[in-house]
Every structure is written in structure tokens, then in C-alpha cells.
Structure 1
């Protein structure tokens, strides 16, 4: 699904005997959560500084690194809200960041001027995001739903005067992809269904538009070349996976640029088109290549052989790259790479120095057959000490979505659980992204049914492993995965010994009727996939909603929820907790008053993860 629908969560790890027979250390949640998380990484205009965000203070703040001296400066000092770096002004060098209130997802754009933060996009229900800069670098493009909460209009703001003007009025739930370097063209798309988009090239001077999409398929914009002669996009119109295409602005001709056996998920050009970055989602992990466009040679990075590179951006002078890289056994870090000197420099050190990386585990991709013979991919996190003579309990982990994907990468909760003796099987049930459009569509209007059976059969696979205690297998998941957890506890009440529901949907009729207004671009897509709650589809939605069948719940359940969650409302968790308790089931409920859809603050994660482990130790181990 589009990124606006993508609902996301966390997973990973455990304990081991090394080659000398020494037991690995068991870590407290405070120690593991003393790992940091970082995001962003924006070069200043001259390439001398890098701007990024980190939660090293306990909550995300903005930091700046002088790349010549390695001196780091904390730019913001928030203690309540998360601040995320957005960019430097190429004109003034001033810093932009974004922040919402208590996880309500109504992010505003802020400019730091004369030591003070200026809200460029005020409004209690306004949601805004930065989209780029005008050719003369005097104005910043951004989108905002201030006029109508359903639609994002395109604006530009003068950096010196802060005067804002609307550039494009959006009355059809278009999603913006790219703005040309010469400020002439805007590319946007309209989602018609889960598998069909329309993509348009809009001339901002003549107000005319041309459709780039020429087949019923998905289309994802990837940007213009330097001279705005060609537009690049990915599509899957004649195959299972997305591949990279070009569209010539003058002639309208299309040409294949790059195709792989998996989804091409991102592609970008450096400032002067010298290099092209291509990212492929290969079996649940990114494979990134950087090609020199003159001779198609590839840049090879020294020092990152065992790391998974997740993203790359270039400085304007094309001398430097910012990379993010990590592994399933190590948190992702930010690096810079000097192309001229071949020097790799680590900007962040997110793994707590008290944690020995060898105590953590790496995820292993496995596959198993479901009830109907369909092959289901999954990622196994096996405790080091798990063996036939020392069987361990296990959890089936279900990702968010619908349409999400569990991927290879570090997640504190899974590492914490595995470190304390639990195997974790992260299931990519039918309907998951990354495995082709046929697999992706297999759960359409079948949610909580066949995809639930994929999870049940994941449990059956675990039962057959000689290092798993087959009597001690539970299920855990967040958002859509939380729904699947409650569906398992409701519709398959004898299968899993416990369930942990992290802000999961339990009443699909209400959830689909109350989705945030700024999801309007994806409303039709979601209704066609899940069902229209205002039509006869509501009967099926009622039938798959755990709330209305809570009397079936037998085994212990834990529910975690954020009070400010705009996607899965607090009432979803309140009601399922009450209904399950009234049916006689044991339920633990943890509500965070200052959290939204996802627990961003470290203290929330520490408390939540620790209580999950206590619950599992009491009712599963």
C-alpha cells in the first residue's frame, strides 16, 4: 500500500553459547533500550555539515555534525515531543524540522530562526510535510491539509519573508510524487485500488496534465533527471514485481531502465546525474547499488560487508554520500562516505557499548507450507542456546498493514524477547508486500481468514522444530498484526497459549469509518481491499471483527494502546479488554496517555516491553 497506509512496528532477539561454551549475557530492557535510534541525514549546501535526528536524549531531537571537525551539536532540546530533522535551507543554511503533538500525526514544519522555532504550518488539525526547493532556492515547497483536512494542497513559502502562496489546489485526493527542477512540472498520482494507480504530469504554467500511466497497474514516482527531460517511475504493469522506467517529457516515449527478480522500491539520481542509486527489496532486505552513469561501474563500499545498507543520499557536489546501514543483530547507524578518498566515517554509534553484538542473533529467512500448500516466507530469530535438550517457548510475530512486510533489521523488542529465551517467527502471511502482486492481493476481502491460517500454520512449523516447546507458543503483533493476534485468540482460541495485541484493530466497521481525514487519498483503495463499511461489506467486516466474538477468548491476552492514536482509536482497545474480561478471560491492559500509533519515547518502550516480557514469563514460559 502507499506509504500513508503503511502501518509499522518492531521485532527481534536472544541468548547463546559461544564457541568456548560461555553463556551470553542476559540484558535488562534498560540496557537494550539504551541503544539509540537515528533518522535522516541531510547535507548542508556546501557539504560541510550533516543534520540528523536521534533519540539519545530519550526522545527524538535534532543534531548537527561538522564533517570537517567531527564536532556534534544538539540543535533542539525537546523533552515532550519528538523532533525530526527535515533539511537545511540551501539559501540561508537555516534548519527545518517537523513535530506533532503527543503522537497525533498532525506534523507541522518548523524553521529555526534566531534561536527560536517558527511554526510555518500552524493549525490544530493541520498536517504538513516538506517536498523540496524552488530552482532559485529562495522558496520551499510543502504540502498541507490546512484548507481541507481530506486533501493536501501544494504551497511554497519564501524563506526570507515567510510569505506562503498556494501553488496547486488539490480536490481529488492526489498524492504528490515530484516537482521538476525548473519548477514547471508537478507529478502526482491518484490511487484507484490496491493494484491500480493513475499518474499524471501537470504543467504548472498551462494547467494541462498528461497521463504517464498507460496500463492498469501500480505507479511510484522516482524523480526527474537534471535537465527535466525525463521522468522516472516504477511500475508492475506487465509482471509480478516493480521495475524502473523512464518517460520522456517531450515525446511521451517510455523505456525500461532497470529490472530485477524482486521489487525495485527506490531510485534516485545525484545532483548532476553522475550517479544513480537503485534499491531492490530482495527477500525481505534491501539490496542497494550505486552506478556511475558514464560507464555503469558500481561503487563498492569498504567496511560494510556484513551490514545491510538501507538508504543513500548525495551531497550537492557529489563528493559525499550519506548512508544508513545496520543488520538484524545491530541497530542501524548513519555513515558518510567520501567518494574521492574512499573514506567511510561513522556518524552515530547506536548500539549500547554494554551490549556485546555476539549476544544478539541474526534473522534467518525460512519458508513453510500453509494449509493450502502456499509457500509462506518468514524470518526466524532463534535463541543461541535453543536446542533439543533445552527447548524454548516461541512467538508467532505478525507485522502491520495490511500489506506490510517483516524485514531483516534490528528491532529492540524482538532482541529483548529472544535474549530472554523466546524464539520469534516473523510471518509474512499472504497479502504481505515484497513477494509479487499476486501474493500481495491474496488477502483482499479475506482478511482474518486465510492470512490468519498462515499464522496458525506458522505455529505448526514451530511445533516441528526440536528446539521449540510445542506446548508454549503464543502470538504477538501490532496494528494489523494486533488485529491478527486478537483474531487468533477469538477465532482459533485453542491454538495459541497467549496473545499480545499492540494497538490492534478489533472493530473494522468503526475503524474504516473513522480513518483520519488526511488518508482520503487512500480511502477508496482501503475500502476496495478491506470492504466498504457503509455497504453490505459491513456484514463480513462484522464477522471478522474480534470485538463481536470476544466471548470465544479463552487464553490470557495483553493489550497495549496509545491514547492519542488517530488510526486505531483507544476505544478499540478499551472495548475488547472489557468484552474479554466479561467473558472470563484474563487480560492485562497498558495505556499510554502521551502516545499515538507507535511508542516513540524510550520510557514508553521500556515500560511496554518490560511488561510484555513479564506477561509472557507468567503465562507462556
Structure 2
């Protein structure tokens, strides 16, 4: 088996965002082929790929072609600060910032039914809340449709513009949905008791029904709809796992929804008249994202990846029943057969609760045992899935096993599992990660004395928590922009997260009233217990986990005489978007592991 460099893995192209032209001729998508995400187009037959933007600094993520021509909308922030603006690129290649407020953060919501305007959310009036606006595509004149004073999340606008569907999280496990109209104001649609999720998704073509997902009377989210006049509700689709999203084709001929099936995203397409499924012949096994349907309803485009294959752009012609892959993103210097296929596994934790995980096992010679890393995802409440991760493949290619643990508190495994770590973070979820070592050892392929822990964001916090609260459990720690002091992080969450501030407090703890508890689970206040080598990576512009979180834990651990390495990227935020920085960071991680774990 060949060994590959981090440059070779990072020179694999990464894709994001998909849109189809009004005439089905081309597909718009985002790619980091140049080292920074830019917008590209490709003919529907896979020919004539063109780079449409030329950013060398800030990532550009395309959103949508215009309804009648080849202009398109895209979003971008500044150095990873997450203050995303909305831009248009015109026919002559010129770009215009449509939301130029210095501190204005926006989110695109969709096109109007007459396609003469689009909807977006903006916090320019009050940086805590997102108001809903409509913008004319010729004059670029915005008009406020809904002033948000209560921390609602705008989820859908009816085709006749009469209704706006609103979502309001109460806790991470309990939410409500509302219906706003000029005639009736805000109506509460989901009065209930106990922990139940209600999340509106879309309206039907007649603006008669609002479709939503809920875990009412079920462990998992299923699809229902409610009559906006009578308020009577009925089930539309129920699966054995969460239904993550649903959308209609432009003329409402098809209903498409995605299912989170044990860590893998699957797609179902239903004919709305017959209810019969539309099958895609020859669809490879893998994770589906970025699903879009053309205005003609003849084409469906999407991204698909698997654990050993990066995302590629596919287009399915419904009439001809033909599936075409338009891209080949894996670096041609890498033989896919050298990459490891991940396995979904389950292991019992300290209380016999079954914990799911994604396992990447390196090729191990007979009689030898490999070092291993326990990976913890972001969140809290995130999920590791069976998708392509170049860092995992890079580490596995060089002899490290990776076990991506979905500890209790992770999403995707039912509402009981999801809330099992509430107000116990850094405790029971950490115990699950420690217990995962027993699974690794049970394979007979792993050296129990050479197991480290790694993670980003919340996973970075779990890395620090493991080193501070279970100092003998792991040999090394890799912290990628992880929280070290929950008191500061929870008091300084970005202003545009105001609507979910209380949700975080109820899940992790209130930093104003539960100070003693918050400090008890914050590694910074227990840094003297950290005795194992640590490497920390941080973006200087991170608005979620401030640079001070990493600065202070590094300074504190250094006082223990422990090997500590620290890398700061001045032009990154919460997540590293520039290829050059990813290469630098991941190379440093492997070098650190080779020194202290291998």
C-alpha cells in the first residue's frame, strides 16, 4: 500500500453547494480547487468546467443561479468571522455586495414564486435577531416582511407570501412552531407538554399546508403537514431514523427527503400524485447532500461521497433514467484502493448503553499492533457520519486507527440518546469516549498503551476534558479550537446566536447562576492535572471559540512542564477553509503524533 503526503490528500478537490440553470444547461457549484473556495460551473454532460470567481482570501460559497439567466448569488464572510454577506455576480463577471453592512450577517431563504425577488434574513436592525426581507432582483431594493422581536427562526415563506413559518427552540430537545400572517399575527401551532421537537420546513404549492418534522410520539423525527386554516395535522412519512430535510420540486411534482440512517444520509424521491418512489439506478453507496431539482423538473443534481471517496457532483435525468457523475475530485496521485472503508460499530459503555461509532482501521501486519485515536465530533449534539474525511484517511494511511465516537448527547440516534448528556457534559459523554478504548483493544489490532484523543470545537473541549479529568486515559491530546473555559464561552457567544442562548444554557449550564458547576467542567480551571502531550490549533478570527480559550490553556499546561505545541492561523475562523492552512495544521498534527504516540 502506497503512503501519501498531506499535500496529496489536500489536493483532492472539495465541493459545496449546487444549483442548476433555468435551461438545464449548466450546474453551479463551489470548489476549493484553487486552494480557496470559489464558484464554478460545468455543463450537464460534464464538459466545459469554468471558474467563475477568483477569490484568493475569503471562501466563496455559491447559492443559486438567477431564475432566468446565468447571474448567480453567493455568500462569503471576512477571514472566517461568520459575518456572511450576500453577493450577486452579473453576466459580465462583476460582483456586488447586496448586504454591505459592516456587522450585518445574512442568510438566503429562497426565491419568490414569481421569481422576481428572493428572501433573506438579516440582523442589521438588531444584531441579536434575524429579520426577514424580500429583495427585488433588478433594483436590489430590500423590503422587511417580518420584524423579529422574540428570537424566532424563520424557516419558510408560503408561495402566496401570506404566511411565514417560524421555529423557536426552547431547549435542545424541545421546540415550537408558529405561523405569522398580517391578518392573524403570530399563531402558535404546536402547543404541547414535555420535550417534543417541531420544526417547519416548507409549504405546498397552494399555500394550504405547512410541512414540518417532529418527534411527537416517536424517538425520531418524522414528516407531517398541518392545514393552515383548520390546523388539523396528518402524517406524511415515517422512517426508522430521523428525516433530516424535505423539499418539493419547483412544480411540486416530486417530494424529496433525506434520512439519517445510522450515520449515513439516504435520499427518497416520491411522486406526489401517486406516492410511488422514483428509483435512481446505479446510485453508488454513500452520503448525499446539496440536493437540487431543476425548474423543468427533469434533472436532480446532488453531491455524493463515501468514507473512501470524496464528494463528487452527480446529475440524474428523470426522463431518461440516467445517472451521470460530472466530476472526479480524488487527487489522481492517490489510488482509491489504498484508502480505508469505514465501518459502523457499536460498543457498550460503562452503564451498558450502546454507543455508535465509525471505525477506520489501518492495514496492520500480522503480529503487530497500531496506535489509535478516539475522534470526538463538534457540538454539543453533533454526529460523526460515514463520510469522506481527508484527515482520517491521511492518519490511517500512516498507520493510525481512528474511531469516531458518537457519544451520548450526539444527534441521529433518537431524542432519548440526544438528551442523555444534558448538564453532564465532560462527564458521561467523556466516559463513553474512555470506554471506547475497550472496543479498540478488542479488535486485536490496537496497542492499548498508544491511544490518543482528538477533536474539533466541542470535540476539542472533550480532548481537553479527557486530559484534565481522566489524565491517565489517553497518551496524547489534539485540540482543534476547543473550549477550555465554558464560563467565558457561554457569556460571549456571538450576538446572532441570541435566539439559542437559553438553549445552550439549559444544555451545558448557566454561566451566571451555575458558576461553580461550569468551572467544574471547564478544563482551564483544572489544567494542573494535564500531564500528557498536547497540540492546539486555533483560528484567530473564531467568533464561537475565542482565541483566548486556546491561549490560556496552552499557557497553563506549559507551566506543568508538559510538551505543548500551538498553531494559530491569523486568517481563519471556526474551521479552516484555506488549503494551505489545512496542510500546515494537519502536517503538524501527524508530526506531533509520530513523536508522542507512534
Does 2:234 align with 1:261?
A: no
Indicate yes or no: 2:271 matched with 1:292. Answer: yes
CA contact (8 A) 2:166 2:177 kept: yes
The structure 2 residue matched to 1:193, chosen from 157, 171, 176, is 171
1:541 CA displacement: 0.7
Aligned equivalent of 1:479 = 457
**8 Å contact kept, 2:343–2:359:** yes
- 2:27 is aligned with 1:50: yes
Counterparts of 2:526 and 2:365, CA distance in 1: 38
Partner-residue secondary structure (3-state), 2:167: strand
SS in 1 for 2:213: strand
Q: Tell me how far 1:583 sits from its aligned partner.
A: 1.6
> Partner of 2:292 in structure 1?
313
Paired residues of 2:46 and 2:326 also in contact (CA < 8 A): no
SS state at 2:109 partner: strand
Superposition pairs of residues 56-71 of structure 1, within 5 angstroms: 56-67=33-44, 70-71=47-48
Match of 1:138 among 103, 116, 128: 116
- Residue 190 (structure 2) pairs with residue 227 (structure 1): no
TM-score, L = length of structure 1: 0.94
For the 8 Å contact 1:474–1:499, the answer to whether it is kept is yes
Of the three residues 361, 365, 380, the one matched with 2:359 is 380
Q: Any idea what SS the aligned residue of 2:520 has? A: helix
Displacement of 1:122? 1.0
2:578 aligned residue (578, 589, 601): 601
Q: CA offsets, 1:309-362, max 9 Å, x none?
A: 335321111111012111101001111111111222222221111111110011
Q: Secondary structure at the match of 2:130?
A: strand
Residue deviations 1:61-94, cap 9 Å, x none?
0012233683222110110110110112214542
Q: Which stretch has the larger CA shift, 129-138 or 395-404?
A: 129-138
TM-superposed deviation, 1:215? 2.5
User: Structure 1 stretch 83-92 or stretch 598-607: which is displaced more?
Assistant: 83-92
TM-score, normalization by structure 2: 0.97
Shift of 1:297: 2.5
Contact 2:18 2:290 in 1 (8 A): no
SS of 1:578's equivalent in the other structure is helix
For residues 617 and 169 of structure 1, the distance between their equivalents in structure 2, rounded to whole angstroms, comes to 54
SS of the residue aligned with 1:147? coil
> Contact (CA 8 Å) 1:91, 1:138: kept in 2 or not?
no
Give 1:23-102 correspondences, 5 Å limit: 24-67=1-44, 70-102=47-79
Counterpart residue number, 1:568: 545
SS at match of 2:125: strand
Moved over 6 A (4+): none
Q: CA deviation at 1:305?
A: 3.3
Structure 2 residue corresponding to 1:168, chosen from 117, 121, 146: 146
Q: Contact 2:536–2:565 (CA<8 Å) still a contact in 1? A: yes
CA deviation after TM superposition for structure 1 residue 291, in Å:
1.4
1:241-290, Cα deviation, whole Å (9 max, x unpaired)? 11110111222110011111111111111122211112111111112111
Task: Tell me which residue corresponds to 1:528.
Answer: 506
Please give the secondary structure, in 2, of the residue aligned with 1:451. Answer: helix
Using the TM superposition, give the Cα deviation of residue 463 of structure 1 relative to its aligned residue in structure 2, in angstroms: 2.4
Distance 1:66 1:424 in 2: 38
Deviation at 1:594, TM superposition (A): 0.5
Residue 236 of structure 1 pairs with residue 232 of structure 2:
no
Residue 159 of structure 1 deviates from its aligned partner by: 1.3
Q: Distance in 2 between matches of 1:526 and 1:446?
A: 13
Structure 1 regions of 5+ residues with no counterpart? 1-23
What is the Cα-based RMSD across aligned positions, in Å?
1.3
Q: Which has the higher contact order (CA 8 A, sep 6+)?
A: 1
Q: Which residue of 2 aligns with 1:281?
A: 260
Gaps of 5+ in 2: none
Q: In 1, are the aligned partners of 2:20 and 2:65 still within 8 Å (CA)?
A: yes
Alignment partner of 1:454 is 2:448: no
Stretch deviating more after TM superposition (113-122 or 544-553): 113-122
Q: Distance in 1 between matches of 2:166 and 2:289?
A: 25
Match of 1:547? Answer: 524
| Alpha-carbon distance in structure 2 between the residues aligned to 1:141 and 1:314 | 19
State the Cα deviation string for residues 472-522 of structure 1 (Å, max 9, x = none). Answer: 110000100000000101111111110000000000000000000000111
Shift of 1:207: 5.0
* Corresponding residue for residue 3 of structure 1: none
Secondary structure of 1:146 counterpart: coil
How many positions carry a matched residue from both structures? 595
Which residue is 2:597 aligned to?
Answer: 620
Inter-partner Cα distance in structure 2 for 1:100 and 1:361: 35
